[in-house]
Amino acid sequence: MIYNRIAVLRAERSLSRQVLAREIGVHPQTVGFLERGDYTPSLDLVFKLSRFFNLPVEAVFSPEPFRPLSEQVYPIPFSTVEVSPGAIPSARCGPP
């Protein structure tokens, strides 16, 4: 299986499946199949999508599941988070 971030990239750009499909020359259902992992794209389609999103192939596709973007952008070492048993950690907003 090949994993992808097509749905995330499409949502970030406020694109419908129809618009993306038209731009890369496929049927809108193909975009849906790709997003759900029901279809393995050809190498040609992989390059078209990468060029369309202006990203390297490995930013769009991976043989391994992607980590959530929030973990990649804001890594939080779990060893620094202290939570008492049964407590729910709260988020602080603003200055301490």
Tell which residue, 46, 77, 70, 71, has the closest CA to residue 59.
46
Q: What is the pLDDT of residues 77-89, one digit of tens each?
A: 665 555 556 655 5
> Would you state the pLDDT for residue 94?
46
Q: Classify residue 58 as exposed, middle or buried by CB count within 10 Å of its CB (0-12, 13-18, 19+).
A: exposed
Measured between alpha carbons, how far is 44 from 92 in angstroms, rounded to an integer? 47
Measured between alpha carbons, how far is 27 from 11 in angstroms, rounded to an integer? 18
3 state SS of 58: helix
Domain range annotation of the chain = 3-58
Over the chain (96 residues), the average pLDDT of each successive run of 10 is 95 97 98 96 98 97 88 71 56 48
What CATH number was assigned to the domain covering residues 3-58? 1.10.260.40
Q: What is the pLDDT of residues 33-45, one digit of tens each?
A: 999 999 999 999 9
